[in-house]
Amino acid sequence: MSKRILITGAAGFLGSHLCDRFIKEGYKVTGMDNLITGSLSNLEELFREANFDFYNHDISKFVHVPGELDYILHFASPASPDDYLKMPIQTLKVGSLGTHNLLGLARVKNARILIASTSEVYGDPLEHPQREEYWGNVNPVGPRGVYDEAKRFQEAITMAYHTYHNVETRIVRIFNTYGPRMRLNDGRVLPNFMYQALMGQDLTIYGDGSQTRSFCYVDDLIEGIYGLLLSDYVQPVNLGNPSEISILDFAQEIIQITGSKSELIYKDLPVNDPKQRKPDISRARKILGWEPQVDRKQGLTRTLAYFKEIMKEEIKGNFA
């Protein structure tokens, strides 16, 4: 009998790639999304699959899934600053009420649940690189607090269900990830830079560009999540690429790979924007035998091809 998995946030960037992977592995996949940031176009190919079905539902409300369920992947949440600053209440509700609903479902179905946490639980870190043991430096009442604290609460209630109700739980802390199916209007640095470069616009740097990020290609992340779900490890695990780069240098990379003649313009750094972001992935290496395989140049080339394709009409065929 095929195992059955529920994936929330299924129409989003990561959720849709996870649906693809589990269909490929022979699972019966039930996707769930309320489509406030996701798109059904990400699932277009899957609707032809007999082992895939989809519910348009807000998991902040009671979640009912008929039949047996073996696994749950909780990936529903606005994830970019643009999204969660526009939807602060929804972000808090999906991290709290939504997670509570899914943990209850996992308990009733005797299913294993993996929740998608984030490097943002570390806030603007005072430790570098960030290890899972680090408790973070988060401003709970700052503009980013709605996302950071939703994820921190999500981890706390997940561990409570594991400890007090013996629910099988897994926690992944996801660092910056990129690749096909990212939205061009996502608001995050990579799609912003790609869009501006392809449109011949100047690239916007916030602050002086010395802040750092570490970018992981989506295929590598999906592989790590798959391994973590099937592992026996219940503590949080960082997944990301420890290859760190400053935003200024990253902008230059994007200009070079796109062949753009864009210049750089500078704006004020957003409040509580992290100055450094680099995962310590020692735990993932030891527990899962995992580390990224796709280097940044390779990943950016694949992502650029995707963005060119979806922008063909807007840029009038210049890159066709």
For the stretch 185-216, pLDDT in tens is 888 999 999 999 999 999 999 999 999 999 99
> Tokens 């209007």 appear where?
185
One-letter amino acid for residue 276 of the chain: Q
Measured in residues, the chain has a length of 320
What CA–CA distances, in Å, run from 260 to 3, 195, 201, 215?
Answer: 47, 11, 9, 21
Contact 33, 48 (CB under 8 A): no
Secondary structure element (H or E) that encloses residue 101, with its range: helix 99-109
Q: Which residues pair with 54 in a beta bridge?
A: 31
Q: What share of the chain is helix, strand, coil (3-state, %, to 5)?
A: 40, 20, 40
Residue 147 designated active-site: yes
> Tokens 């992944």 appear where?
172
Residue in 147, 161, 217, 226 annotated catalytic:
147
Contact 169, 162 (CB under 8 A): yes
Contact 4, 14 (CB under 8 A): no
Residue 67 corresponds to which tokens in the numbers above?
């039949």
One-letter amino acid for residue 88 of the chain: P
- Tell me the pLDDT of the chain (320 aa) as tens digits: 699 999 999 999 999 999 999 999 999 999 999 999 999 999 999 999 999 999 999 999 999 999 999 999 999 999 998 999 999 999 999 999 999 999 999 999 999 999 999 999 999 999 999 999 999 999 999 999 999 999 999 999 999 999 999 999 999 999 999 999 999 888 899 999 999 999 999 999 999 999 999 999 999 999 999 999 999 999 999 999 999 999 999 999 999 999 999 999 999 988 888 899 999 999 999 999 999 999 999 999 999 999 999 887 565 544 44
Contact 181, 221 (CB under 8 A): no
The Cα 128–Cα 117 span in angstroms is 19
Contact 57, 32 (CB under 8 A): yes
- Domains delineated in the chain: 4-178+216-239 (3.40.50.720)
The Cα 253–Cα 244 span in angstroms is 13
One-letter amino acid for residue 57 of the chain: H
Contact 71, 3 (CB under 8 A): yes
Residue 312 corresponds to which tokens in the numbers above?
């063909």
**Predicted model pTM:** 0.95
DSSP string spanning 223-273? HHHHHHHTSS--S-EEES---EEEHHHHHHHHHHHHT----EEEEPPPTT-
**SS3 for 74?**
strand
Contact 33, 76 (CB under 8 A): yes
For the stretch 161-178, pLDDT in tens is 999 999 999 999 999 999
What CA–CA distances, in Å, run from 320 to 42, 201, 300, 311?
Answer: 22, 19, 18, 9
**SS3 for 203?**
strand
